[in-house]
C-alpha cells in the first residue's frame, strides 16, 4: 500500500508541476500534494460557509416577506370587516337602557344617584380620563371613561353587589371589579398629592386663624381615627376584630377647619390601638425625625411665660401627648377649673374630625358597611374616598341632609369602638406646653 501511495503522490505532484509549469523535483511530491490538499479543504469550507450564510439570509427574507404579507392582509381585513362580533360582545340592553337614561338626568337626579354634582363629575373626569381611557381594538369597542367613572362612584356611594351594578351599567360582573380598581388607582395617582396635604404658607395662616375663632390657639388641624367595616379576611381574621366585636381597618386622618382631610393613613387592623397606628404613620416620622421635634415651621410658635408654644395638632385621649400633638386631660383624674375649660375648648375645636367622618361615610357608603372587596384593596378605596370628599368640599358640592348616617336606623350600622385612653405619657416638654396653654389660654388667644 505504501509504495502505491508514494507513486500516486509522486504522480500527482508531477501532474501539478507539469500543469503549473513548475520545475519541482519528484522528491518534493509529498509536500506539494499536502499543500494542494490543504488549499482544497480550505476552499471547500469557505464555499460551505458561504452556502450556509446564503441559506440563512434567504430564510430570513422569506420570514419577513411572510410577516409583511400577513400583516397587510390583517390590515385590509380590519378595514373591510365590522368590529361587531357576537362571539366577543354580549348584548346587555337593560344596562344600556339605564345608562342612556342617566344621561338625561337633571342636576338633582344626577347628584342623588352619583353623590356628586354633574359639574364635579365632569371636573373629575377631565383630570383622570387619560389614565382610565382604553384603546379601541378590532374585537370590541372599549367602555368609555365617563361610564367607568360612573360605575366607580356608584360603587363608592352604595357598595352594591357587582352583579347588580353590572346589570345596571351593561358590563360584565368581573369588569365592574376591574373598573373599580383601575379608577381608584387613577384617583390616587393623579389627585392625592394635589388635594391631601398638611397646610403650609397662607393656608396655614388661614387654618390658625380659623381655629383661633373656635377659641383654640396654635392649631393646624385635628387628628382622629375611625373604623371601616370589612368582611373577615382569610389570613389572621382575629387581628382585624375590634373592641366591638366586628372586623375593621382603621382610618387615621387629620382634618382642617374646612372639614377637609390634610393627612390620611388607612389599613391597620381594627385590634391595633390609636397610639400604635400613629407611631407607624408617616406623620409621626415626619415630626419625630426633625431635630426640634416640631411638625410645623418653628417661626409660627408663640412664647408665653418663657415657654414656646408651637403650632400643633389636637387629638383625643387615645393619642400620646407630644409637642406637636395636644390632647385634653383625662376625666379619670380630678381636674381644676382651668383644666376642664381647656379640655372642653379642645374637644369643641376637635369636632371637625367627627363632622368630616360623618360626611365621608354618609356620601360614600362603601365605608359604612362591609363590602366584598379584598382587604388589601381597602386602604386605597378609603384614601380615594377622602380625596373625593376634599374635592366636593373645595368645590362647594354640598352634603345633603338625607345622607346623614345618624338619621339611618341604628341596627343597619355598626357602632364604633369606645376610645381607649393612652396612659403611658410621662412628664416632658409636651406637658409643660399643655400646662402653659391651660392656664394662659385667653392670653395666647390674643397673640
Please write the tens of the pLDDT for every residue from 10-43. 555 555 555 455 455 555 666 767 777 788 888 8
Residue at 417 is within a domain: yes
Average pLDDT over residues 41-50: 87
User: At which of 39, 59, 80 does a domain end?
Assistant: 80
Give the residue numbers spanning the domain of 8: 2-80
pLDDT at 295 over 70: yes
| Of residues 29 and 164, more confidently modeled | 164
Average pLDDT over residues 425-437: 91
pLDDT at 28: 61
pLDDT at 426 over 90: no
pLDDT at 6 over 70: no
Report the C-alpha gap between 409 and 339 in whole angstroms: 37
pLDDT at 418 over 70: yes
pLDDT tier, 8 (very low <50, low <70, confident <90, very high otherwise): low
Residue at 207 is within a domain: yes
Asked whether residue 275 falls in the same domain as residue 409, the answer is yes
Residue at 86 is within a domain: no
Asked whether residue 303 falls in the same domain as residue 361, the answer is yes
Residue at 87 is within a domain: no
Average pLDDT over residues 124-151: 87
Asked whether residue 114 falls in the same domain as residue 148, the answer is yes
Q: Structural domain tally of the chain?
A: 3
Percentage of the chain beyond pLDDT 90 is 56
| Of residues 436 and 170, more confidently modeled | 436
Asked whether residue 269 falls in the same domain as residue 380, the answer is yes
- Residues 6 or more apart from 244 whose CB is under 8 A from it? 227, 414, 415, 416, 417
Residue at 88 is within a domain: no
pLDDT at 14: 55
Asked whether residue 12 falls in the same domain as residue 135, the answer is no
Q: Which of 7-16, 38-47, 52-61, 436-445 has the lowest mean pLDDT?
A: 7-16
Average pLDDT over residues 372-386: 93
| Of residues 82 and 333, more confidently modeled | 333
Asked whether residue 272 falls in the same domain as residue 388, the answer is yes
User: At which of 168, 195, 222 does a domain end?
Assistant: 195
> Taking all residues of the chain, what is their mean pLDDT, rounded to a whole number?
86
What pTM value is reported for the model?
0.77
Asked whether residue 172 falls in the same domain as residue 219, the answer is no
Asked whether residue 186 falls in the same domain as residue 284, the answer is no
| Of residues 231 and 159, more confidently modeled | 231
Residue at 408 is within a domain: yes
Looking at mean pLDDT, say which of 15-24, 111-120, 327-336 comes out highest: 111-120
pLDDT tier, 94 (very low <50, low <70, confident <90, very high otherwise): very low
pLDDT at 206: 96
Residue at 85 is within a domain: no
Asked whether residue 222 falls in the same domain as residue 186, the answer is no
Asked whether residue 298 falls in the same domain as residue 438, the answer is yes
Looking at mean pLDDT, say which of 79-93, 155-169, 297-311 comes out highest: 297-311
Asked whether residue 191 falls in the same domain as residue 206, the answer is no
Dihedral over alpha carbons 27, 31, 34, 38 (to 10 degrees): -150
pLDDT at 292 over 90: no
pLDDT at 13: 54
Residue at 441 is within a domain: yes
pLDDT at 411: 43
Asked whether residue 329 falls in the same domain as residue 206, the answer is yes
pLDDT at 44 over 80: yes
Percentage of the chain beyond pLDDT 70 is 86
Q: Is the separation of the CB atoms in 49 and 64 below 8 Å?
A: no
User: At which of 163, 195, 227 does a domain end?
Assistant: 195
Average pLDDT over residues 354-370: 93
Q: Is the separation of the CB atoms in 215 and 349 below 8 Å?
A: yes
Report the C-alpha gap between 305 and 441 in whole angstroms: 12
Long-range contacts of 304-310 (CB under 8 A, 24+ apart): 304/436, 304/440, 304/443, 304/444, 304/447, 305/436, 305/440, 307/432, 307/433, 307/436, 308/433, 309/217, 309/218, 309/433, 309/436, 309/437, 309/444, 310/218, 310/433
Amino acid at each position: 500500500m505504501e509504495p502505491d501511495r508514494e507513486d500516486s503522490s509522486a504522480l500527482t505532484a508531477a501532474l501539478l508541476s507539469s500543469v503549473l509549469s513548475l520545475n519541482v523535483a519528484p522528491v518534493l511530491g509529498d509536500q506539494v500534494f499536502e499543500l494542494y490538499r490543504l488549499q482544497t479543504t480550505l476552499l471547500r469550507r469557505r464555499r460551505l460557509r458561504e452556502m450556509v450564510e446564503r441559506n440563512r439570509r434567504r430564510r430570513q427574507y422569506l420570514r419577513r416577506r411572510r410577516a409583511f404579507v400577513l400583516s397587510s392582509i390583517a390590515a385590509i381585513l380590519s378595514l373591510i370587516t365590522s368590529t361587531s362580533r357576537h362571539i366577543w360582545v354580549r348584548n346587555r340592553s337593560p344596562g344600556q337602557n339605564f345608562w342612556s337614561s342617566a344621561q338625561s338626568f337633571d342636576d338633582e337626579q344626577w347628584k342623588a344617584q352619583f353623590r356628586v354634582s354633574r359639574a364635579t363629575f365632569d371636573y373629575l373626569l377631565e383630570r383622570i380620563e387619560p389614565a382610565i381611557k382604553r384603546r379601541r381594538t378590532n374585537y370590541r369597542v372599549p367602555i368609555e371613561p365617563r361610564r367607568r367613572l360612573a360605575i366607580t362612584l356608584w360603587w363608592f356611594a352604595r357598595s352594591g353587589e357587582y352583579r347588580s351594578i353590572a346589570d345596571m351599567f351593561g358590563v360584565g360582573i368581573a369588569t365592574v371589579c376591574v373598573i373599580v380598581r383601575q379608577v381608584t388607582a387613577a384617583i390616587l395617582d393623579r389627585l392625592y398629592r394635589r388635594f391631601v396635604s398638611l397646610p403650609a404658607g397662607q393656608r396655614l395662616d388661614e387654618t390658625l386663624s380659623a381655629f383661633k375663632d373656635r377659641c383654640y390657639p396654635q392649631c393646624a388641624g385635628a387628628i382622629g381615627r375611625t373604623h371601616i367595616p370589612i368582611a373577615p379576611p382569610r389570613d389572621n381574621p382575629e387581628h382585624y376584630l375590634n373592641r366591638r366585636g366586628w372586623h375593621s381597618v382603621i382610618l387615621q386622618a387629620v382634618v382642617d377647619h374646612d372639614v377637609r382631610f390634610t393627612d390620611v393613613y388607612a389599613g391597620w387592623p381594627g385590634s391595633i390601638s390609636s397610639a400604635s397606628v400613629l407611631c407607624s404613620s408617616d406623620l409621626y416620622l415626619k415630626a419625630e425625625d426633625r431635630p426640634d421635634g416640631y411638625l410645623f415651621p418653628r417661626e409660627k410658635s408663640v412664647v408665653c411665660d418663657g415657654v414656646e408654644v408651637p403650632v400643633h395638632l389636637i387629638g383625643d385621649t387615645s393619642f400620646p401627648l407630644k409637642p406637636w400633638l395636644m390632647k385634653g386631660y383625662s376625666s379619670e383624674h380630678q381636674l381644676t377649673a382651668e383644666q376642664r375649660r381647656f379640655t372642653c375648648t379642645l374637644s369643641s375645636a376637635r369636632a371637625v374630625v367627627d363632622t368630616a367622618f360623618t360626611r365621608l361615610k354618609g356620601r360614600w357608603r362603601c365605608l359604612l358597611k362591609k363590602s366584598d372587596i379584598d382587604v388589601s384593596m381597602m386602604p386605597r378605596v378609603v384614601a380615594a374616598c377622602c380625596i373625593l370628599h376634599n374635592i366636593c368640599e373645595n368645590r362647594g358640592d354640598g352634603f345633603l341632609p338625607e345622607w346623614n348616617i345618624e338619621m339611618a336606623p341604628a341596627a343597619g350600622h355598626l357602632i364604633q369602638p369606645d376610645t381607649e385612653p393612652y396612659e403611658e405619657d410621662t412628664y416632658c416638654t409636651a406637658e409643660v406646653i399643655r400646662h402653659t396653654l391651660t392656664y394662659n389660654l385667653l392670653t395666647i388667644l390674643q397673640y
